[in-house]
Amino acid sequence: MQKVAVIGGGTMGSGIAYVTARAGLDTVLYDVVSEQINAARKYHAKTLSREQEKGRLTQEQAAKVTQHLVYSGNLAEAVDETDMIIEAVPESIELKTSLFRDIEQHVRPDTILGSNTSSLPITEIAAAVGRPDRVVGIHFFNPAPVMQLIEIIQGLQTSNDTVEAVVHFAELVGKEPVVVKDFPGFVTTRVGLMLVSEAIFALQEGVAEREALDKAMRLGYNLPMGPLALADLIGLDIVLHVLDALYANYHDDRYRAPILLRKMVQAGHLGRKTTKGFYDYAS
Ligand SMILES: NC(=O)c1ccc[n+]([C@@H]2O[C@H](COP(=O)([O-])OP(=O)(O)OC[C@H]3O[C@@H](n4cnc5c(N)ncnc54)[C@H](O)[C@@H]3O)[C@@H](O)[C@H]2O)c1
């Protein structure tokens, strides 16, 4: 594996491109919005200088990472001769399937087509292209340079060779791979959101105050933050959207969203990004 294209330079794509370039892979970051490319470039420069300040990278090593990073606004050019693409555009099945169809026109038949989706079916994305055996979920976590896990999702038609190649890729970039099957929510989204959802139900029922609830979970399970604080960090609109999607897929009451969550989203209290969620972040 030598050359990777990251498609979409937002929160996740810019972080993923940094991870692959830092690991010595030639990396092209592609976005349709030029401001996003500029923002990614700035983020990379800032992260590199922070790593040098902390003594994690020498000036020479930082210069090498920069050499490995190329930015592009042209899809055909960006994905040309790549061993792998990692798509990180917004969470829309229509957008992702049409993009994969486009990308397929410009890559070698053996290029691995990875998606960073956190909830969409890999099998459905794969069905849009001629080589579904090469399509796989490569689920990084936010912030990508810091978080250790890559959840690798094997769709119904994803070949074992593709999964194996992505396991090697994960190790190459210094991450911990875990392979899971393509069920809605995979493991991390499904199980993690159940914890968040149950905490919101408990709050709604008055079992405990928000601080007490989060403190109990933090100390009782040695978690870095409580589930309500986690919901604020993810964004309550995203939590609701994913719970609704899980419910629509499994038709199981376990995934029904708490009314309190729905009300907070209706009120525009989406968590950290609006400075108000279960906690207040205005100050
Ligand atoms: N943010 C998270 O915490 C997180 C964590 C894990 C996975 N994910 C998943 O990663 C993906 C991206 O999420 P994000 O938070 O980085 O989104 P984002 O909105 O920050 O970034 C998306 C980027 O894609 C670009 N884009 C839109 N259409 C495009 C196209 N046709 N071609 C190329 N670029 C295009 C946008 O300009 C933007 O820069 C989603 O599937 C999301 O579910 C997000």
Q: How far is the CA of 10 from the centre of ligand 1 (A)?
A: 5
Confidence bin at 154 (pLDDT 50/70/90): very high
pLDDT per position as a tens digit, 49-86: 999 999 999 999 999 999 999 999 999 999 999 999 99
Q: How far is the CA of 100 from the centre of ligand 1 (A)?
A: 14
Pull the structure tokens for residue 85. 């693409």
**Averaged pLDDT for residues 117-139:** 96
| Residue 120 CB–ligand 1 contact under 6 Å | no
Q: Residue 3 pLDDT more than 90?
A: yes
| Residue 150 CB–ligand 1 contact under 6 Å | no
pLDDT per position as a tens digit, 165-219: 999 999 999 999 999 999 999 999 999 999 999 999 999 999 999 999 999 999 9
pLDDT per position as a tens digit, 5-28: 999 999 999 999 999 999 999 999
Domains of the chain with CATH codes: 3-181 (3.40.50.720), 190-274 (1.10.1040.10)
Q: Residue 283 pLDDT more than 90?
A: no
Q: How far is the CA of 117 from the centre of ligand 1 (A)?
A: 9
Q: How much is the pLDDT for 228?
A: 98
Query: The whole model's pTM is what?
Result: 0.93
| Residue 15 CB–ligand 1 contact under 6 Å | no
What percent of the chain has pLDDT above 90?
A: 96
Nearest alpha carbon, ligand 1 atom 28:
89
